[in-house]
Structure 1
Amino acid sequence: MKSSGSVAAAAVMALALVAGCGSSEPDKKSDSVPVPKGFEVPEGVTLTKGGAKLMEDSSASVVYQVADKAASAITVTVTSVRKGSIKKDFKFFSLDAATKAATPFYVDVAVKNEGPAGLGGAALPIFAHDSSNTNLPANDIVGSFKPCRNATLPESFLPGANAKLCLVFLVPKGKALQSVDLQTGSTKDAITWSP
């Protein structure tokens, strides 16, 4: 694997603070399930209440709206959270000092598109929540990365389709991974998985 300056830049971006990321504000407050205006939940799908706290291998169904475009119900399952090694896994990458001191985590996720829209190529609003109450975005790694592949949904992800993703998160030195958060609305509506 060739080292890349853009990889280092992407890795550094993961260490930036992220607050309030997600889709547009839902119609209802945190005591109900966030649903974009005019969206009809597909038959047989029960949405997970905002703020739900889950364990690995538990599923959550939410409505995901990509910007002002497609909206579809998805069922997300965090199947595993694996701790990696900067020295071993990133040995061919050109990293700055802060990134070299970070701890990588690889989050395996299963996703089903419940419909009605296609979500091809979309990145899911999943964050690593650390012990400083900061949401860290997944790293965008350029090229093939053996420990963790497929960070975005397939180019064609129509209703009924399933996908397995793996997201890379770099938790800064001195911080601990508290949860993996799926945030399609406000931060208080995020659904969290404990690793």
Structure 2
Amino acid sequence: MKPIRNNRRALALAALAAVGALTMTACNDDASSSDTATTPPAAPSAPSASASATGAPSPSGGAITPAAPTSAPAGGAASGSAAAPAPAGSTPAPGTTVKVGDAVTIPFTSGSTSGTIALAVTSIEKGDPADLTSLNLGDKAKGLVPYYIHYKVTNAGSSDLSFTSVNHMKGLLADGTEAQELMIIGSFAKCKSDSLPKGFTNGQSATSCAVAMSPEASKVAGAEYWGDPYTLGKGVNWK
């Protein structure tokens, strides 16, 4: 029986080595212990909030998440076509496309908190690859250009949404496919993304930002919000 146990141990070590091969270290200049991990193409899980309920930032770092492979442009519509905007006062249907700057009113859930928000992508700003130097991403960012998706959140309901996070914002390339995502751990001056502040009640507004990565030959031309009640590729789009 001893040879069998040794074989099992060897298999376990081999599996651990395979997992370790997917991990690389990346950190901000002022936080050398931060880590980042590349994620194989798959349906992404919900991004982590960049700050806790106390407002204390995590150590800085970043991770580039590849876009999920798809045979059709994100947003659930064929390239060149756009769903009509939803009537005022109703929840936009999956695949709805509106103009950058326009707000949509949607139900919002974060953990055990639920409410209603008005959400608008206000601008999509092209960055410089040099902006990412402090994140020490190395070859993972080679040939990619960061774009900053700026958006505004307004509490349009009666719930207090203090300390919740409105993320699930993803970039869309010029051909309608999903851009790679850069998740920031901690603070990033070029594109700040924080939890909603204390006292975020009806009528209160806050701004946030998401980073999308584009190949140099393309650009980030739109954005998609795919948080609940939507799903990735069937959310609300801004172009």
Partner of 2:106: 62
1:11 aligns with 2:62: yes
TM-superposed CA distance for 1:118, in Å, is 2.8
- In structure 2, relative to structure 1, the CA distance for the partners of 1:78 and 1:106 (3 Å cut) is same
Which among 166, 176, 182 is matched to residue 123 of structure 1?
166
Partner of 2:144: 102
Partner of 1:25: none
- In structure 2, relative to structure 1, the CA distance for the partners of 1:186 and 1:135 (3 Å cut) is farther
1:186 aligns with 2:231: yes
Give the root-mean-square deviation of aligned CA atoms. 3.2
Partner of 2:121: 78
- In structure 2, relative to structure 1, the CA distance for the partners of 1:111 and 1:51 (3 Å cut) is same
Distance 1:153 1:2 in 2: 25
Instruction: Give 1:126-145 correspondences, 5 Å limit.
Output: 126-130=169-173, 131=175, 133-134=177-178, 136-137=180-181, 139-143=183-187, 145=188
- The alignment covers a number of residue pairs equal to 170
Partner SS, residue 97 of structure 1: helix
Which among 200, 204, 207 is matched to residue 157 of structure 1?
200
Distance 1:70 1:12 in 2: 27
Distance 1:81 1:50 in 2: 21
TM-superposed CA distance for 1:73, in Å, is 1.2
8 Å Cα contact 1:5/1:94 also seen in 2: no
Q: In structure 1, what residue type is equivalent to 2:66?
A: L
Higher relative contact order (CA closer than 8 Å, sequence separation 6+):
1
Instruction: Out of 3-12 and 54-63, give the one that drifted further.
Output: 3-12
TM-superposed CA distance for 1:70, in Å, is 1.8
Partner SS, residue 62 of structure 2: helix
Which among 175, 190, 210 is matched to residue 167 of structure 1?
210
Q: Percent identity?
A: 19
Q: In structure 2, what residue type is equivalent to 1:2?
A: D
1:2 aligns with 2:30: yes
TM-superposed CA distance for 1:77, in Å, is 1.0
TM-superposed CA distance for 1:151, in Å, is 4.1
TM-superposed CA distance for 1:54, in Å, is 1.3
